[in-house]
Amino acid sequence: MALTSKPFQAFKGQNHQAHITSHLNFISTNLARNNPMIMGALEKNCFEHISMMAQEQIEVEFREELMQLQQMQQQAQQNPAMQQNPQFQQQIMQVSMKVEARKAGLIAEMMQEFKDEENKIMGQFGNDPIAKLKARELDLRAMDDTAKREQAEQKINMEKSKQLMGQEQFDDKLEQNEDLAELRAETSLTKQMMSQEAKMQQDRMKQRDVKILKGPRR
């Protein structure tokens, strides 16, 4: 169910320790380690089993206290005046705090055991050179995908900026381009006219030099 991203949860009365052990064994596989979604689903279910396992142990250890607490709560519902009795309220609080303190201690112990077992598994993974290379390869692929995504986002943002410039700015830019084109055309025409005039002046000077070399006519 974790592989198919389907929700699953722990239930009261299950063999919680067996479920936790099977999840830890699954976590040790490459398939689970390289998929954060699977890892999250398995760890969440392990925590549910730990909580229920602690609750079921509390129900065994504090059977009499829990029965007493239930009776006191029923009496309070039947006789609302008892709820105003400080001594009665203190008794309920003492029993509740005793039970909750023990439950919190059990959960802490079980969580530490789970953490130790998980660290052993991840420690074995850390000492595996092939697993390290695979993890590094996945990191590089993720980085490459991130870079490509950022480039695509930048391109989209540029296109959005162009659109946000508005038609007026676009027209101004177009008009500027047209003015620049006209200026270039005029400059080219002026250069062409100056070149023709310089050539005509050069031709006249050559004709004059030829006349001087030939001398006056006789």
Residue 139 confidence (pLDDT) above 60: no
Listed residue (12, 102, 112) closest to 58, CA to CA: 102
pLDDT digits (tens, 9 = 90+) for 50-100: 999 999 999 999 898 888 888 887 887 788 777 677 887 888 888 888 889
Domain spans of the chain?
16-127, 165-214
CA distance linking residue 85 with residue 77, whole number of Å? 13
Mean pLDDT score of the chain, rounded to an integer?
75
Residue 27 confidence (pLDDT) above 60: yes
Query: What is the torsional sign of CA 22, 23, 29, 31?
Result: positive
**119: pLDDT confidence band, cut at 50, 70 and 90?**
confident
What integer pLDDT is reported at residue 68 of this predicted model? 85
Q: Which residue has the tokens 């609302």?
A: 80
Residue 11 confidence (pLDDT) above 80: yes
**What's 6's DSSP letter?**
-
Residue 103 confidence (pLDDT) above 80: yes
